[in-house]
Amino acid sequence: MTKHMIIAGVPRAGKSTVSQMIAKRYNYQHISMDSIIAGFEKAFPQVGIDTDADTDVKENVQSISSKIAPFLRAMMDSGEYDECDYGMVIDVFQLLPEDYRKYIDPAVCDIYYFITSDVTAEERFEVLKQYDTPKDYTFYKPEEENRRNCAEIVEISKFYKEQCEKYQLPYYETARSREKVLGEFIRHLEDENKEF
């Protein structure tokens, strides 16, 4: 396994769940980029990160990704974890495969995408309801807003899938059998780790 790992993809696809599992199993430091992005958005508006921007959702993800990718690279280049036996596992929504390839060294950091592209917006809404908890921001949003967001999540998932295929990066579809796919992914990491 590499020093660092990024678990990227869309909300409720299992990013945080699998990142926490990796952190516990392999003693990685788990970092959720959602809170860091929210901090940038509120404390440093000059950075131009606006997660609720009134623009096309794909354009907004592209804009945020182009700002977050160099930041992630700087975190990894900081040397903070060089003397440790472990590194970071970072879960992030707004990181495109294109920007991962452009800014992140794959010799230092693996990436895996978790998406829900093979469902309709309504099916995606049912997934959201199934996994939504009071810890999730969507839990408190009106149903109609969540339905609209689910349509956008399916659209972004399809975009991530296209880019993963273009840049030959691994992705996992979790909408129809999330627990099974997450379990298979963890077993894959365990098998990979046994080889070293």
The overall average pLDDT reported for the chain is 91
pLDDT at 63: 95
pLDDT for residue 93 is more than 60: yes
72 and 6 Cβ atoms separated by less than 8 Å: yes
H or E segment at 148? helix 143-167
Q: Alpha-carbon dihedral of residues 50, 123, 117, 153, nearest 10 degrees?
A: 0
pLDDT at 134: 87
pLDDT for residue 195 is more than 60: no
Neighbours of 42 (CB within 10 A): 9
H or E segment at 162? helix 143-167
Instruction: Summarize pLDDT for 115-152 with one digit per residue, the tens.
Output: 999 999 999 998 888 888 888 778 888 999 999 989 99
Taking the C-alpha atoms of residue 124 and residue 118, their distance in angstroms, rounded to an integer, is: 9
Taking the C-alpha atoms of residue 184 and residue 100, their distance in angstroms, rounded to an integer, is: 24
Helix (H, G, I), strand (E, B) or coil at 130: helix
- Both ends of the chain: CA-CA distance in Å? 8
- Computed over its alpha carbons, how large is the radius of gyration of the chain? 16
Tokens of 8: 């990227």
Tokens of 19: 């990142």
In DSSP terms, 172 is beta-bridged to 114
In DSSP terms, 29 is beta-bridged to 88
Beta strands in 21-86 (DSSP E): 29-32
Instruction: Summarize pLDDT for 170-182 with one digit per residue, the tens.
Output: 999 998 899 999 9
pLDDT interval class at 196 (50, 70, 90): very low
Class of 4-194 in CATH = alpha beta
| CA distances for 43 relative to 49, 67, 102, angstroms | 10, 15, 27
| CA distances for 88 relative to 26, 84, 159, 171, 195, angstroms | 10, 11, 26, 20, 21
| CA distances for 149 relative to 52, 80, 87, 111, 132, angstroms | 11, 36, 33, 25, 14
Segment 157-167 mean pLDDT: 97
Instruction: Summarize pLDDT for 7-52 with one digit per residue, the tens.
Output: 999 988 999 999 999 999 989 999 999 889 999 999 999 999 988 8
